[in-house]
Structure 1
């Protein structure tokens, strides 16, 4: 627990508005991706078809879309950012692996790798000063 507090103190001391904009953009991107998946279920089923033989295909469909939508909103507002990103990590790692197991789509592989890298950054950095987490912590 002390490590998280130390990371929060460091992040709050080194907060930049551009990083908050990147966090908000990540949240909006994940939310839009979740909306796209929920409106285009056959596309999502086609995406996860290389790992569907493992089992749990319908579970994945019902996990990916709400996790992207709810997690995207939480990340954009900076509310429980680390927990929301932890929920995104299995999806993003799976998005990278699906490109190697099935047909290779370089643009979606690049997008998944960039999103995964940004998520890892915010997993360590946290939500920053301009977030709901900071607001609730300061005004309890």
Structure 2
């Protein structure tokens, strides 16, 4: 049994509700940040103007917007949570290293602190998975039930 399966088995046995509330809040926060990102057109235009590689910056802006909007919803409902988080982690690493390049790690920027906390939460939920109260868990339970029904129905 792999470590991921051990964690999932522990969660299925104990059902920590706070874990799922945290996942939902994290997903909604990422969705909110995605909405704020696409609504700040002046900041987005400034990023594109200052970039030497406009097509790369344009593509990254679309990647960030799409990943935050879709990924936030997927994380909140607990559907393919680890995949959605895997798309978020590079964005947060980039936010940590590039959001305040002149001030470094020890700045008073609250965005840097929020980015670090969000990255830690994403890693936590990437390891832990979607939790008991999630769409992923419902799909797995239905799949197990179908598998058991098929096994008992065979002569």
- Structure 1 partner of 2:67: 67
Aligned pairs for 1:1-140 (under 5 A) are 2-46=2-46, 52-53=51-52, 56-102=56-102, 106-140=109-143
TM-score (norm 2): 0.79
Deviation of 1:48 after TM superposition, in Å, equals 8.1
Deviation of 1:63 after TM superposition, in Å, equals 0.3
Relative to structure 1, the CA distance from residue 120 to residue 46 in structure 2 (aligned partners, 3 Å threshold; closer, same or farther) is farther
The 8 Å contact of residues 47 and 57 in structure 2, kept in 1 or not, is answered as no
CA distance in 2 between counterparts of 1:19 and 1:62 reads 30
Report Cα offsets for 1:60-102 as digits up to 9, x if no partner.
Answer: 1110001000000000000010000000000000000013424
The 8 Å contact of residues 71 and 85 in structure 1, kept in 2 or not, is answered as yes
The 8 Å contact of residues 48 and 98 in structure 1, kept in 2 or not, is answered as no
* Runs of 5+ consecutive residues of structure 2 not aligned to the other structure: 144-155
**Worse-superposed segment, 57-66 or 3-12:** 3-12
CA distance in 1 between counterparts of 2:49 and 2:16 reads 41
Deviation of 1:44 after TM superposition, in Å, equals 3.7
- Structure 1 partner of 2:150: none
TM-score (norm 1): 0.87
* Runs of 5+ consecutive residues of structure 1 not aligned to the other structure: none
**Worse-superposed segment, 29-38 or 81-90:** 29-38
Provide the alpha-carbon RMSD of the alignment. Answer: 2.4
CA distance in 2 between counterparts of 1:125 and 1:68 reads 20
The 8 Å contact of residues 11 and 126 in structure 1, kept in 2 or not, is answered as no
Number of residue pairs the alignment of both structures matches = 139
CA distance in 2 between counterparts of 1:48 and 1:2 reads 44
